[in-house]
Amino acid sequence: MRRLLWILLAILTAILFLLVVKSDGTIAARQRPPDVISLMVKIALAVFVGAIVLTLLRERFSRAIETAMVWVAVALLLAVGYGFRSELREVTDHAMADYLPGRAASRSRVVEITRGGQGNFSVAAHLNSARVSMVLDTGASSVVLTQDAAKAAGLPVEVLTYTVPIDTANGRTRAAPVTLNSITVGGIVERSVPGLIAQPGQLRTNLLGMTFLNRLESWEVRGDKLVMRAHP
């Protein structure tokens, strides 16, 4: 920085000498036009003042440069992240689905769910607008809900008629037929899905049965992954 300062001082001295010669009318008038010399003086003065400021405040300036570079980097990361937000969301969903069984990882029309520690597929679904935990049960001919899930989904449990015989872990009982406005699993949404509501105390877990699975284009179990594909 000191070497640069001395160089700038030498350049400024030379330009001032030229101005003095120009004022006598002996040299500059024949060498350079007056407007060129004036411009050179202004540039030299600006650089000279800037060099002095940088020399006196070089620590603050370096810190300011570092801070500015950090903010520029942050702005670039945000811009890139916004441009690739769909891809980042997909990667995040898949990463979380691997570590959180039951969480759906969506990709276009495909949803993947990781098997839980008890060997079953726990599914985080939305019944109408209520978030409900369910278990995949391919042996259940229908979606079957507990009383609590039915109430959360806004179904009129007080006026239901239990006429459909079903088999549960507690034995044979009866359930009430209903139609769910929608069942959402990840990016898959199926509407007007037939279901059953078990009698109070007869069912511990909500079952995601065939009245939902049969709506899909396909579904299969690949190792520890449940893969469901919706119709286009």
* Angle in degrees, 0-180, between the axes of helices 58-83 and 34-56, rounded to the nearest 10: 90
Per-residue pLDDT, 114: 86
**Please, what is the Cα angle at 116 between 114 and 122, to 5 degrees?**
80
Q: Would the pTM count as exceeding 0.85?
A: no
Per-residue pLDDT, 225: 87
The pLDDT tens digits of the residues spanning 107-145 come to 778 998 988 877 889 999 999 989 999 999 998 999 999
Per-residue pLDDT, 28: 40
Q: HSE (CB half, 13 Å, CA atoms) of 220? A: 4
Do 47 and 8 contact (CB within 8 A), yes or no? yes
Q: Are strands 130-136 and 206-208 parallel, antiparallel or unpaired?
A: parallel
Domains of the chain: 2-83 (no CATH), 100-229 (2.40.70.10)
Regions in the chain scoring below 50 on pLDDT: 1-2, 20-33
Cα–Cα dist 99/116, whole Å: 10
The two structure tokens encoding residue 49: 């003042």
The two structure tokens encoding residue 158: 């007080």
**Rg of the chain in Å (alpha carbons):** 37
Cα–Cα dist 178/157, whole Å: 10
Per-residue pLDDT, 41: 53
